Chain A
Amino acid sequence: MEVIQYVTIASVLIAFLAIIVKVIKYATAPESMRWELYPVPHEKGRSEYGGSYFEELDWWTKPRHSDMFNEMKEMASEIIFLKGVLHNNKRVWRFSFPFHFGLYLCIGWLFLLLLGGIMDAVGVGVSADAGVFGLVVHYLTVISGYAGLILTGIGAFGLFVWRVTDSNQRPYNSFAEYFNLLFIDAVVVLALITHLGSDPGFAYLRGYVAAILSFEPAVIPGTLFGIEVVLMSLLIMYIPLSRMSHFVAKYFLYHAVRWHDEPNVRGSKIEKRLTELLGKKISWSAEHMHPGKTWGEAVQEKENEQ
């Protein structure tokens, strides 16, 4: 295999690893105090106005009806259309929506390239002249690829301009914020130039993926193609290592905090976890914290007048 193929393999592996590490970090964070924020979309019949089961008389005696369909609907409109940004910050949504939607298409494109690569590797053709399946994969790859790249490029450029020109925004941007957007735009532009010029159907790119899958040396049709592949690989690796991987955190911010209204009942797993946490030793220094004692002991200490 060529060196750049190893770069791609390493990048993809590091990306997956980084995402897994992040997921584990958030998923294994200790049970915290409840900190939900309404509206909570799974509150059946109440989510429209932001109500909760706390509105009911003797709520603990009644079955809780969770509306998971509404929660999925809310998640879908948040993920696909960025509903929250649309409602609360239209200026940003104009660019953020095409940027994110473009990225979703690009992810689909990469999976289609992978699928095409597998098909190539096992000898099933993918092209405009191939059988029905190969033809469908070919056109879906072309459509998602170009639409994804163009939307992502426009969105990233718009966000870059907004970050540069908005005087409210500028003081809070770090170099990383600019770099991330420019990096994405550079990869998009390079990909568009490369493929519109010499690989309009992404056949070489698919071949590159197929070569990796079969551990064969890939055909690199030109320098530009080589640079594109290297940069794209590095971008795939970079995203989960940067704040651009906020999609992982967003899941936890919504499900483990904002919408987490599961009540603790006697003998529950939540109670067990909390009981264990009360055994953690405190090292806070203020006198009223009783440093050296466990949380369970410290909060039972008699208060001294200060």
Chain B
Amino acid sequence: MSNKNIKVKDLGKKTDRVYNLDVKELPKLPYPYEDWEDPEVPPVKDIKAEGKDLSLDGILNVVVPIPESEEKKEELVAKFLEGVRKLLTVENNWTFLKPFMLSMENCVKCNTCSEACPVYEMSGGAEIYRPLFRSDVLRRIIKKYISPGGKLTAPFTGSNIDLNWETVARLAQLAYRCNLCRRCAQTCPMGVDNGLIAREIRKLFSQEMGIAPAELHTDGTIKQLTTGSSTGVSPVALMDLFEFMEEDITDRTGLNIKVPFDKSGADILLIHNAGEFLSWPENIEAFAIIFELAGVSWTLSSEMVGYDSVNYGLFYDDAQYAKVTLKHAEVAKKLGVKKVVMGECGHAHKAVMAIGDRIWLGESNIPRESCLATLEDLVMNEKIMVDPERNDFPITLHDPCNVVRSMGVVEPQRRILRKIAPKFREMTPHGVHNYCCGGGSGFAIMQSNNFPNWRFLLPGRKKFIQILNAFEKEEYEPGVNKYVCAPCSNCKGQIRDLLEYYDAWEKAGLLYGGLVELIVNCMTDVREGFVEWEFH
């Protein structure tokens, strides 16, 4: 089957593979990567592929077990259809019924969305990655198998699709080939949201069939709700980590800082993405330094879930999302803080501030704020003193989709950077028209099998091109260190992996980090050199 001639109805075809990712079809990278050749995507090892369907594109991130008998196949299809029906009811899906119904019923099939999608663009126009393709699969299934008389009117409504277990399994996989960045929705003249439709598909698989990537569900929300954090860091381990971080602050800066925990009545409850504790403790340390030196009344929580802002439910499951965010609300209420400030984590911002706006009800409706607004106040109103010359290196800014496109927090981070970074420059495009890092919707934490290759080669490639183009040719001379500022934990994880995949620290002098690290790096009350030019 040719990659570009795949039709929606082909999703149900009996074939080993609907689409093959061919690295030769990918667009070339700019300077200094013109000669870069991507290795082929490694196939999933047989032992792992055993009993798991990989027939969409050979990429594995969500496991759909191959039904063992005809009866099981029919059961799978029936259960799927039952889930689709539930998506269309108020009782089961009041949470997103309105936008879902509007998007499902009103696409005019103009394909404007395709041009906006980095996955589609970077794949060289692979049909299965068209935003409309995925939505149309579900649309046709609803029209043909759910709507009254659907089979009869199918030729007129274009619902030529066969619903078999292959279609179901491949649709599950297709839902996890979208970053939910919503760039497609932004360009849709109707306002139809293919990102939302992808999320609704994920949701029906999770809420009805119990199918979701392990990283999001068992090792994500379930682990977070049972151990305290999606990283598995328990409240006890948390204290050990902070002991280390306080020592590290002293080593790096000469400052003695005691991080406040569980301080009742503090002005601010700061919640970090717990991924930072393990991968980027300097980010946590930088927040502590800024808040302490600015004299902010703040605290962290050591209560289960209260110290981890991660909420992977946002990406695949309404109930799991609500369970986590309600835990955050409960912790804030118990501490009696004036407001909750979200650390540098994009999806946590959206989970708690935008979506959470409809979940934190009554007494639990504690005000929530972006750390970018908090930090802007401290930097711009000179509650901390800075010397921008300390940041005299080329810096570009990545915009996390959840903070920017979905919440409209665009300028605070820019006003800070314009003040503290003389060589700050934008990517093209940026702000609300940015491109996703490629790790959005949980992809950044999916490290197993061959999925990372997919996210580097397709959505990540667009971001990498943007990063490369943000700097001048002469800035790629050896010895010129450049900084990609990504004020979001998941984006940072994806950019770290991307730079590693392309060997970009060695080859192009590209390092990445958060915003607070840059602030501390230029604070006059802090010893110079907080940003360490070492790749990690």
Contact = CB atoms under 8 A, between A and B. Distances in A.
Nearest to B355: A33
Contact of B96 (A35, A173, A253): A35
Interface in A78-102: 78, 82, 84-85, 87-89, 92, 96
Contact of B109 (A38, A49, A169): A169
Interface string B211-250: 0000001100110011000000000000000000000000
Nearest to B433: A50
Given A26-B98, A88-B189, A258-B191, A174 B106 contact: no
A85 B112 CA distance: 8
Contacts of B112: 84-85, 88-89, 92
A280 B90 contact: yes
B367 interface: yes
Nearest to A244: B108
A36 B405 CA distance: 9
A108 interface: no
A29 B187 CA distance: 25
A176 interface: yes
Contacts of A129: none
A34 B349 CA distance: 13
A60 B386 CA distance: 29
Interface string B428-459: 00011100000000000000000000000000
B373 A249 contact: no
Contact of A175 (B94, B115, B156, B207): B156
B92 A284 contact: yes
Contact of A39 (B7, B210, B357, B432): B432
A209 B162 CA distance: 48
Interface residues of A, number: 86
B110 A85 contact: yes
B115 to A, nearest CB: 7
A4 B418 CA distance: 70
Contacts, number: 271
Q: Which residue of B83, B222, B357 has the most chain A CB atoms within 10 A of its CB atom?
A: B357
Contacts of B405: 37-38, 50
B431 A49 contact: yes
A294 to B, nearest CB: 9
Interface string B346-377: 00000001110111011101010110111011
Interface stretch (B272-280, B281-289, B315-323, B474-482): B315-323
B98 A54 contact: no
B105 interface: yes
Interface in A135-183: 168-169, 171-177, 179
B185 interface: yes
A93 B202 CA distance: 33
B95 interface: yes
Interface string A50-66: 11111111111000000
A169 B388 CA distance: 52
A43 B411 CA distance: 14
Interface of A: 26, 29-40, 43, 46, 49-60, 78, 82, 84-85, 87-89, 92, 96, 168-169, 171-177, 179, 243, 246, 249-250, 252-254, 256-258, 261, 263-266, 270-271, 274-275, 277, 280-290, 295, 298-301, 303-306
27 contacts: A26-B98, A32-B94, A33-B318, A35-B96, A37-B405, A49-B410, A50-B408, A54-B353, A84-B112, A89-B189, A96-B110, A175-B156, A176-B156, A176-B158, A243-B105, A253-B103, A253-B191, A254-B191, A258-B185, A280-B90, A286-B209, A287-B210, A299-B319, A299-B326, A300-B323, A300-B326, A303-B226
Q: Which 7 A-B pairs have the closest CB atoms?
A: A174-B158, A52-B408, A50-B432, A253-B191, A303-B225, A29-B98, A84-B189
